[in-house]
Amino acid sequence: MNMASHWFSPKRLLWASVGVAIITIALKTLAWWLTDSVGLLSDAMESLVNLASAMFGLLMVTVAETPPDDDHPYGHHKAEYFSAGFEGILIIVAGLGILWTGGHRIFDPQPLDQVGLGLVLSVGSSVLNGLLAWVMFRAAREHRSLALEADARHLVTDVWTSVGVVIGIVLIHVTGWLWLDAAIAMGVALNILKEGGHLVWRSSQGLMDEAVEAEVQQDIAQVLARFVYVIDDRQVIRFDHVVTRKAGQRRFVDMHMHMPANWSLGHAAALRNKVERTLMEAVPGLRATIQLLPSDVEAHFDDPKDAA
C-alpha cells in the first residue's frame, strides 16, 4: 500500500466523514434556527443521517478488516454491504421525515428571517461535503469499498439537497412565494428517497453473491486465454465453469482447468499455481480456486438432481 492509499484509507476517510458531519450539523442547524426555513431544516436532518451512517460505516469497515476465523473462513468482507444497506434505510427514513414536515408547512407557509446568513452557512457546509465526497469516491474505486462509495453518494445527495434549498430560498426572496420553501423541501425528499433505494438495492445484490464487474471478468478471460493450448484444433489445456463473485473488497473466481490425463500431478499443480499467480497479479485482491480435471472429463452442474 502506497502512502496516498494509507492516508486515504476507508477508516481514515470515514473518521473524516464523522467530523465533517458534526460540523455541518452545527452549521445547518444554526442556519435553520436563524431563518426558520423548513428547507434548511430538511438539510440539517439529512446531516444527522450522515453522522449516523458514517459511524455505522466505520464500525462495518472495522469488522470487514477482521481476519478469517473458524466461523468465517472466507473473512468478514461482506460487512460493508450491511453498512450500505443501513445507510440506505436511514436515507429513506430521513426522506420520509422531510416529506412529512414539508407537507405540513406547505399549507401553513412562514416568512423567512436572516436569509443571507443562513445561505452562507448552508453553502459553507455544502462545500465541505462536496470536497469530502470527491476524495471518498476516488478512494472507494481504489479500495473497492462499498461503504466508502455509499457514504460518498450520501454526501453528494446532501450537496444537491443544499443546492436545491439555496435556490428555493433565493426564489422565495425574489418572488415572495413562501410555499416554495416547503415544495422544494418535498422535492429534495423525493431525490433522497431515490438515492436511499439505490443503496439498499446495491447492498442486497452484494449479499446475494453478485458476479464481479464486467471489466474484471474481461481481465480474467484475457489471463485464461494466455494459457489455453490447442493441438490439431483440439484444446489440450482449457478452462470451463468459470464462476465469479465479490464480497466487499474481495473478488473470487472458481473454475475447472482441463489438461492431459498423462501429466504428473506435480506438473499439473505447477501450471495451476502459475495460472493462479497470474490471475491475482492481473486483479489485485482476487482469490482463485482451480479444480484440475483430465481433458476428456466433463463436470456437469446443471443436472436437475443438483437443483433439488
CATH topology of domain 214-307: Alpha-Beta Plaits (3.30.70)
Alpha-carbon distance of 283 to 27, in angstroms, equals 43
CATH topology of domain 3-207: Alpha-lytic protease prodomain-like (1.20.1510)
- Residue 307's pLDDT band (boundaries 50, 70, 90)? very low
Give 2-35 pLDDT, tens digit per residue.
444 555 677 788 888 888 888 888 887 887 787 7
Whether residue 1 has pLDDT greater than 70 = no
Tell me the domain boundaries of the chain: 3-207, 214-307
Average pLDDT value for residue range 277-305: 77
End-to-end CA distance of the chain, in Å?
45
Give 240-267 pLDDT, tens digit per residue.
889 998 776 678 899 999 988 888 889 8
Q: What local confidence, expressed as pLDDT, does residue 210 receive?
A: 77
Q: Do residues 258 and 238 touch, judged by C-beta distance below 8 A?
A: yes
> For residue 29, what is its C-alpha cell?
442547524
Q: Do residues 276 and 291 touch, judged by C-beta distance below 8 A?
A: no
Q: Which DSSP string corresponds to 104-118?
A: HHTTS-----SHHHH
Average pLDDT value for residue range 278-291: 88
Q: What local confidence, expressed as pLDDT, does residue 116 receive?
A: 66
Q: How far is CA 274 from the centre of its chain?
A: 33
Alpha-carbon distance of 185 to 95, in angstroms, equals 10
